[in-house]
């Protein structure tokens, strides 16, 4: 099986190095110099995505974003111009789900399969084969090529093409939003007199550090629609009010916390104060027209 890899940047290079341990590799990037580490390990060079695709059974890309994907895949010298019938294209770029589905449809017309498989774990995870690959596409295609994917880390099969990208971008955005909220409250705490080293200790040892929401409450209560009080909404609203009042008294902006407080106020005004604070999920469900629930197990 001949494998190709396009995009030998900070994450792509260690991914490709791991692939190269088990499969012969052909590589391409904007400049040959970016692939030096792989060429020194025996990988071969292709002068264009088209040339690479014409020689490969499996074609991987790890690119900066949608703009680069359009160029690498759909241009005259792109992957689509060279890909062989029966080959597969696997995109590790953090990309637009709509673009991925469009590219997949165009490749399918030529008898080429596609998987979207963005990764989580960063450069260090790529080096030590501990990436998480969120894979979308036909399940039969995933099963056929999961041994290739496993050379780079662990995998979750997420369903139809584009679902890998949906998984990645929504996870990352939620993580970034949480980070901003924490940064905001760290600044409140420090200005109010708490030592930074104590913030580190508290955030590592309290609820956020234990990640109980993700590992326990997410599958067992939130996604079950169970809002029996673990931390009552009315108490949570009180806590957020205290923090935002503290921020005001020290002249610290708290825009994210103020937005969250408005959500909690609305939920309390619905008469949900005695339920668990996670019941604010129902507000988002109403606005989005989608219910966030795990499938029920058959009796």
Cβ proximity of 73 and 80 under 8 Å = yes
Q: Whose CA is closest to 26, among 63, 57, 68, 70?
A: 57
Residue carrying structure tokens 């597969």: 88
pLDDT at position 105, please? Answer: 98
Question: Could you give the residue numbers annotated as active site?
Answer: 168
pLDDT at position 184, please? Answer: 96
Interaxial angle between packed helices 255-267 and 281-288, expressed in degrees from 0 to 180 and rounded to the nearest 10:
90
Q: Residues spanned by CATH 3.40.50.720 within the chain?
A: 3-166
Q: Residues spanned by CATH 1.10.1040.10 within the chain?
A: 211-288
What is the pLDDT tens value at each position of the chain, 299 positions in all? 999 999 999 999 999 999 999 999 999 999 999 999 999 999 999 999 999 999 999 999 999 999 999 999 999 999 999 999 999 999 999 999 999 999 999 999 999 999 999 999 999 999 999 999 999 999 999 999 999 999 999 999 999 999 999 999 999 999 999 999 999 999 999 999 999 999 999 999 988 887 777 777 788 888 888 999 989 999 999 999 999 999 999 999 999 999 999 999 999 999 999 999 999 999 999 999 999 888 876 55
Interaxial angle between packed helices 196-205 and 163-191, expressed in degrees from 0 to 180 and rounded to the nearest 10:
140
> Domain 3-166 belongs to what topology?
Rossmann fold (3.40.50)
Quickly count: other Cβ atoms within 10 Å of residue 173's Cβ: 10
pLDDT at position 11, please? Answer: 96
Q: What would the CATH number be for the domain defined by 211-288?
A: 1.10.1040.10
What phi and psi values does residue 228 have, to the nearest 5 degrees? -60, 140
Write out the H or E segment, with its range, that includes residue 91.
Answer: strand 88-91
For residues 60 and 90, what is the distance between their CA atoms, to the nearest angstrom? Answer: 5
Q: Whose CA is closest to 168, among 155, 179, 181?
A: 155
The two structure tokens encoding residue 6: 């396009």
For residues 293 and 129, what is the distance between their CA atoms, to the nearest angstrom? Answer: 32
**pTM for this one?**
0.91
């Amino acid at each position: 099986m001949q494998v190709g890899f396009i995009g030998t940047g900070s994450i792509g290079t260690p991914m490709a190095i791991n692939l190269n341990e088990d499969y012969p590799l052909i590589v391409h990037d904007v400049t040959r110099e970016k692939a030096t580490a792989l060429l020194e390990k025996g990988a071969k060079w292709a002068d264009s995505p088209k040339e690479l695709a014409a020689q490969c059974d499996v074609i991987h890309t790890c690119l900066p974003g949608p703009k680069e994907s359009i160029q690498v895949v759909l241009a005259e010298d792109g992957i689509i111009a060279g890909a062989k019938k029966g080959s597969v294209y696997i995109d590790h770029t953090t990309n637009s789900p709509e673009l991925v589905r469009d590219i997949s449809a165009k490749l399918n017309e030529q008898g080429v399969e596609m998987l979207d498989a963005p990764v989580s774990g960063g450069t260090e995870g790529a080096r030590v084969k501990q990436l998480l690959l969120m894979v979308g596409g036909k399940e039969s295609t995933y099963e056929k090529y999961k041994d290739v994917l496993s050379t780079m880390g662990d995998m979750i099969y997420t369903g139809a093409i584009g679902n890998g990208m949906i998984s990645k971008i929504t996870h990352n955005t939620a993580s970034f939003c949480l980070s901003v909220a924490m940064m905001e409250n760290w600044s409140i705490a420090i200005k109010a007199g708490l030592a930074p080293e104590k913030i580190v200790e508290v955030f590592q040892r309290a609820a956020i550090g234990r990640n109980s929401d993700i590992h326990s409450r997410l599958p067992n209560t939130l996604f079950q629609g169970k809002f029996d009080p673990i931390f009552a909404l009315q108490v949570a609203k009180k806590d957020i009010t205290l923090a935002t009042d503290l921020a005001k008294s020290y002249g610290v902006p708290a825009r994210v916390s103020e937005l969250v407080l408005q959500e909690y106020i609305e939920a309390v005004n619905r008469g949900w104060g005695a339920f668990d604070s996670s019941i604010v999920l129902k507000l988002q469900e109403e606005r989005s027209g989608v219910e966030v629930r795990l499938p029920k197990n058959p009796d």
